[in-house]
Structure 1
């Protein structure tokens, strides 16, 4: 492999040459780079120079050090993005995580619904009516976090915050299991995820003797996807105390379930050391790519600057539609009905599964159940044979044990008993090793 490299050079030049070979495909994912001393001898440089070049490649997310196994080329992050899932004919889809369309507001525009349009490219600021709705709702939650800013969805806000705060190669604490697009985003930003386990009180804190410290932590306060767990008041207090001792760690709070939650909002951080993100997708429409974010003014200012050089602003027409729909669901009782319906479906399946399998699932909320299994492959195959498409837990997991995710938003009441019976069989199928 040494013949691939040009002779001599500084650490920066060596890293650039190897990086170019990785991007051209001369070096493929899984290939091993030569040992440091071997390459140093071939290039006629000090071994420290090669070690520094490898460190730059690691920080850029192009390679990973596998201990005695050597330094290995990584897969490009965007290749890990999954294609659109196709549901095989004859299977009931419990994998996609879609919402119940009957519990989303219908957008109907009458002759009086004429949204003023900007006539130029000098749009400034966010729509005051939307920010006022967000501020009022947060105040009702007992959260005083300052004026919200508008971004193009929760993932967009999280990406901008990480771009502004975290340098490539840095580590970020994440819940384990967690939302797969978040892991894809971290790979894209060349950030290293550090897993934190989930229990009935929400995300656990890092171990006191953790070898690596995260420059940020991403936490779900309610209805964590996929487990459905929420942060308890006690756990949130522990996080606030921990973060007070870690001034360089940014806490990003992804309250994606937001107004659909029946649990109180326990914040793990304050406005001075955190960013709170509220997505409008789950209770208004998944296609309405809008999120509100509150946090430290310097961070929000940096995020707005990033927004200005990219999309520049979030469509005011979309923001006006969001105001109309949010006001609508508050007035017609749909929001309350959605809260109660989703919770009842989850509780009913958990109760039936517990009666059949003797498994006591922790109290949670949201549209998902995270079911530990012996073998993800065996459980998924058995469920498919019985007419159900479930989501294997592998894309969600870092170090947590095997499981499958069941999405219940569109499960019919008459199907629930049969589903519980089939899950009781699938969860114990296969071997103990996944």
Structure 2
């Protein structure tokens, strides 16, 4: 098998190994040759083989097991948002509350009109006019922006990366990270470079380190970061823009997914003179996940490249969906429901954070649909305990780009719980923490 591996550069060696995996010549669990042995065989520097193995690791094709060497990875799908098929009470869905999604029935009756044919503009004129004002506020290079409509934010991010990058290019992602972004980068064959997130959003030192590693694109959530709920402060955004000033051609993608629902102001890391940038705003959080539509504002060159990937009649977004979106976002009753939803999510999350704090687990609800809970013990153990009590929760390590052994975070979606159920969940979490802590204290050597 070793004799079939060839190449002089890291990319060539990685592609050779990738081909062996795809043809079934290397199977899940099979060991790759030791770095020194393969480097000697190919007549290359060990750093070259190490770089090839890193590329394969970033693409999810192999795993590094320390003294166990590097082995072909088995199927390991990225966790997905949404309801799980379970009899347990699911508090990890990440879904908006259907009771606060505007009813489209009346708006549907207003969108009928002449059919749209091949070759016509891909953006509905009324939606474009409204969206231009929506996207302009707070965006420094707004004067030069061009608009694009895509089938949701994940579709926009995928297309933005594809028009700018090639396989194995490095992309800076927040850590912990939104599940769809992790999936998009891995499926695209790009190399994810983690940038830590704190209470003020993406960290300055983390971004500086990622740029030093040669990232060609950055995906950032300016507010209501998923899963942490963090939002960029004005000071942090200014510091990030300062770091980016020396890297004007690195593509900066801001995914402002919570937009209309956010209780925090929008602060952008896109500077007025930045050359390659895109701001993406989806309607799925406030009009419903089935409204697969997002507006992207970007610099003219990025917009032109995106337009080439959105050909009328093949990959454009339906004008009926565009008209329905415009009808809803300009309807007073629908906008009132969106405003009520924003208040609902914030108040329910704040109330649950207080319940947990009263139970001895200090928690602060940030922005967004979810509550990010810091625990004194590993979250996997807590989710196991909660399952025994009828709850399905998401452990923090599902959102980690790097393996953080014993992640001590939970992401909870609690805004649909009644007051009684919220109290019960908070109490069950406290009991689970006490149970796990007692077990770890009794058997420290086994529990780590």
Aligned to 2:413: 407
Cα deviation for residue 121 of structure 1 reads 2.3
Q: Distance in 2 between matches of 1:232 and 1:319?
A: 32
Which position in structure 2 is the counterpart of 1:326?
A: 329
Q: Is the 8 A contact 1:117 1:317 kept in 2?
A: no
Shift of 1:270: 3.2
Deviation at 1:405, TM superposition (A): 1.0
Aligned to 2:31: 32
**Structure 1 equivalent of residue 262 of structure 2:** 261
Kept in 1, the 8 Å contact 2:81–2:93? The answer is no
Aligned counterpart, 1:299: 302
Whether contact under 8 Å (1:59, 1:170) holds in the other structure is no
Label 1:83 to 1:203 Cα distance change in 2 as closer, same or farther (>3 A). Answer: closer
CA contact under 8 A between 1:176 and 1:398: conserved in structure 2? yes
CA change 1:225–1:414 in 2 (3 A) is same
Superposition pairs for residues 94-243 of structure 1, below 5 Å? 94-109=91-106, 113-118=110-115, 120-140=117-137, 145=142, 146-207=145-206, 212-243=213-244
**How big is each residue's C-alpha offset from its partner over 1:47-77, in whole Å with a ceiling of 9 and x where there is no partner?**
1299868866865745577888655434578
Cα drift, residue 243 of structure 1: 0.8
Deviation at 1:94, TM superposition (A): 0.7
1:365 aligns with 2:367: yes
Q: Work out the CA distance in 2 between the residues paired with 1:341 and 1:395.
A: 27
8 Å Cα contact 2:393/2:410 also seen in 1: yes
Residue 351 of structure 2: SS of its match in structure 1? helix
Distance 1:102 1:81, change over 3 A: closer
Counterpart in 2 of 1:252? 253
Say what the alpha-carbon RMSD is for the aligned residues. Answer: 3.3
Deviation string, structure 1 residues 112-147 (Cα, Å, up to 9, x no partner): 525225353223231121122222223455666234
Unaligned runs of 5+ in 1: none
Deviation at 1:256, TM superposition (A): 0.4
Once residues 252 and 80 of structure 2 are traced to their aligned partners in structure 1, the CA distance between those partners, rounded to angstroms, is: 27
Task: Give 1:325 deviation, angstroms.
Answer: 1.5
203-212 vs 239-248, greater mean Cα deviation: 203-212
- The worse-fitting range, judged by mean Cα deviation, of 340-349 and 59-68 is 59-68
Counterparts of 2:149 and 2:155, CA distance in 1: 10
CA contact (8 A) 2:82 2:95 kept: no
Partners of 1:256 and 1:83 lie apart in 2 by 14
Kept in 2, the 8 Å contact 1:375–1:427? The answer is no
Normalising by the residue count of structure 2, what TM-score does the alignment of the two structures yield?
A: 0.84
Task: Quickly say closer, same or farther: Cα 1:316–1:16, change in 2 above 3 A.
Answer: same
